[in-house]
Amino acid sequence: MTDLGTRGAPPGSAALRRAAPALVGYAAVRALGLLALALWSAARDKSPYTLLTARWDALWYTRVAELGYGYEVRLPNGDVHSNLAFFPLLPWLERLLHAVSPLSYADAGFVVSLLASLAAAWGIFAVADHVHGSRAGVCAVLLWAVLPVGIVQSMAYSESLFTALAAWSLYAVLTGRWVTAGALASLAGLTRPVGLAVVAAVWVAGALSFVGTRGAEPTDGARTPVRAARSSADAPLPRDRSTPGAPTVRRTLGLLLAPLGAAGYVLWVGHHTGKGTFGYLDVQAGWRNGFDGGYAFARFIIDKFTSIPSAFAGVGLIVGVALLVWLYVVCVRQRQPLPLLVYAGVVLTLALCASSYFGSKPRLLMPAFPLLFPLAVALARLRTPRSALVVAGVALVSAVYGAWWLNGSGPP
Residues 310-335 pLDDT 10s? 888 889 989 999 999 999 999 999 99
> Quick check: helix, strand or coil at residue 76?
coil
Q: C-alpha distances in angstroms, 293 versus 182, 299, 315, 344, 347?
A: 28, 12, 20, 17, 13
pLDDT given at position 11: 62
- On the question of pLDDT at 221 being above 50, the answer is no
- On the question of pLDDT at 213 being above 60, the answer is no
4, part of any domain: no
- On the question of pLDDT at 243 being above 60, the answer is no
Sign (positive or negative) of CA dihedral 390, 41, 48, 152: negative
The single-letter code of the amino acid at 79 is: D
What percent of the chain is predicted at pLDDT more than 70? 89
373, part of any domain: yes
Strand partners, 72: 82
Helical pair 195-212 and 178-189, crossing angle rounded to 10 deg: 160
Number of domains the chain is built from: 1
Give the CA angle between residues 150, 155, 159 to the nearest 5°: 65
For 267-324, write each residue's pLDDT tens digit.
999 998 888 878 899 999 888 888 888 888 888 888 888 887 888 888 998 999 999 9
195, part of any domain: yes
Give φ, ψ of 290 to 5 degrees.
Answer: -175, -165
- On the question of pLDDT at 1 being above 50, the answer is no
Task: Pick the range with the lowest mean pLDDT from 51-60, 118-127, 138-147, 158-167.
Answer: 51-60
DSSP per residue, 350-376 = HHHTBSS-GGGHHHHHTT-GGGGHHHH
* Domain of 299, in residue numbers: 14-215+253-407
9, part of any domain: no
- Average pLDDT on 209-237 reads 45
Q: C-alpha distances in angstroms, 59 versus 51, 52, 156, 225, 394?
A: 10, 10, 9, 46, 30
240, part of any domain: no
Residues 6+ apart with CB under 8 A from 72: 80, 81, 82, 83, 84, 286
CA 275 – CA 272 distance, rounded (Å): 8
Give the CA angle between residues 31, 35, 38 to the nearest 5°: 140
Predicted structure pTM score: 0.90
pLDDT given at position 258: 96
Sign (positive or negative) of CA dihedral 137, 140, 142, 144: negative
Sign (positive or negative) of CA dihedral 329, 331, 332, 338: negative
247, part of any domain: no
278, part of any domain: yes
pLDDT given at position 224: 35
CA 41 – CA 46 distance, rounded (Å): 5
pLDDT given at position 7: 54
266, part of any domain: yes
pLDDT given at position 8: 57
CA 87 – CA 191 distance, rounded (Å): 5
Contact 280, 269 (CB under 8 A): yes
Confidence of residue 34 (pLDDT cuts 50, 70, 90): very high
